[in-house]
Amino acid sequence: MLMDDQTPYVPPKVWIWNKPNGGHFASINRPVAGATHDKELPRGKHPLQLYSLATPNGVKVTVMLEELLALGNEGAEYDAWLVNIRDGAQFSSGFVGANPNSKIPALVDCSVAEPVRVFESGAILLYLAEKFGTLVPTDPALRAECMSWLFWQMGSAPYLGGGFGHFYAYAPIKIEYAIDRFAMEVKRQLDVLNQRLAISRYIAGDDYTIADIAIWPWYGGMAKGHLYEGGEFLQVHEYTHVIRWADEIAQRPAVRRGRMVNRVMGPLETQLHERHDASDFETQTQDKLQAAGST
Ligand SMILES: N[C@@H](CCC(=O)N[C@@H](CS)C(=O)NCC(=O)O)C(=O)O
């Protein structure tokens, strides 16, 4: 690869963080972990406290919580607090306490005597599925299939987001080698899903599970051309079974609600910055539309 001055880059013996890299998230990337500032996390009235943002990883959890509520689990009532990662809110002392890895989503279960923190979206889905005894099969073979796809998603999505998305959409220079490498891998992953969904209604079998909830925001979003404006580039219309599955899931009322929570981009009627009550879906979005109309 050639740098701007056309000099081939030769890595030094020791990497030093001495310049901004110009990438989309350059201002929040650091090579060290831990808090940058003291700030406690807010806490609301519900058993579950979620600190998140409506990225694909965040949406997994809000969809899960809305599905649990739709199934009648009152204990799944939650406050969803907005963590604006572009402002570095993931580096507050409170957030680092909930997730030492400083990435949304993070959940704190306050329904137990000693609040339990859970981070990593896959771990949160599994924690909630086990807590409420639903959306994960109990039959060992079906459970193994569900777990396999859940962990497949957790291992695969970094190639889609951190690999393809980063180099195709966010990197300040277009590097053919990197884009080729990750476009190839993401197309292969989409084909894995397409072949699976050709023979199975849902990812883990006949029933909708946390495997669907984990995979849909990433690969459903990609197959529908919603991510990185990369739909045409990757010819995602070819993955017809993924599209059939993505469309079906998108129609679920809980999914429609869940994808709105902690959303700060897109049409105003799709944004619910914070969720503290089921009625917020109507009242807050109406308030926003009215405020926009009156300006
Ligand atoms: N493996 C993690 C990934 C979480 C993640 O990458 N979160 C991103 C947003 S999608 C984030 O918080 N980035 C902020 C940062 O990197 O500083 C999970 O699934 O929870």
Q: What is the pLDDT of residues 20-58, one digit of tens each?
A: 666 666 678 889 999 999 999 999 999 999 999 999 999
- Nearest-angstrom CA–CA distance, 112 and 172: 46
Say what the pLDDT of residue 291 is: 77
Give the pLDDT confidence of 59-117 residue by residue, as tens digits. 999 999 999 999 999 999 999 999 999 999 999 999 999 999 999 999 999 999 999 99
pLDDT tens digits along 151-162: 999 999 999 999
Ligand 1 probe mutation, 103, 125, 154, most atoms within 8 A of CB: 103
For the whole model, what pTM was predicted?
0.94
Ligand 1 site residues (CB inside 6 A) read 28, 55, 57, 85, 90, 102-105, 120-121
294 has pLDDT over 70: no
Ligand 1 atom 12 nearest Cα: 103
Distance CA 93, CA 269 (A): 32
Residue 245, number of CB atoms within 10 A of its CB: 26
pLDDT at site 295: 46
* Structural domains in the chain, sorted by start: 140-257 (1.20.1050.10)
Question: What is the share, in percent, of the chain residues with pLDDT greater than 70?
Answer: 94
Task: Kindly report the protein residue whose alpha carbon is nearest to atom 5 of ligand 1.
Answer: 103
Count CA within 13 A, CB hemisphere, residue 266.
Answer: 16
**Quick count: other Cβ atoms within 10 Å of Cβ 25?**
11
Residue 131 is given by DSSP the state: H
Closest ligand 1 atom to Cα of 29: 17
pLDDT tens track for 120-148: 999 999 999 999 999 999 999 999 999 99
Among the atoms of ligand 1, which is closest to the Cα of residue 85?
14
| pLDDT greater than 90 at residue 266 | yes
For position 35, what pLDDT does the model report? 97
Q: Which atom of ligand 1 is nearest to the CA of 60?
A: 19
Task: Please tell me the number of Cα atoms within 13 Å of 192 on its side-chain side.
Answer: 13
Average pLDDT, the chain: 94
Q: Tell me the mean pLDDT in the region 192-210.
A: 98
> Residue 3 pLDDT > 90, yes or no?
no
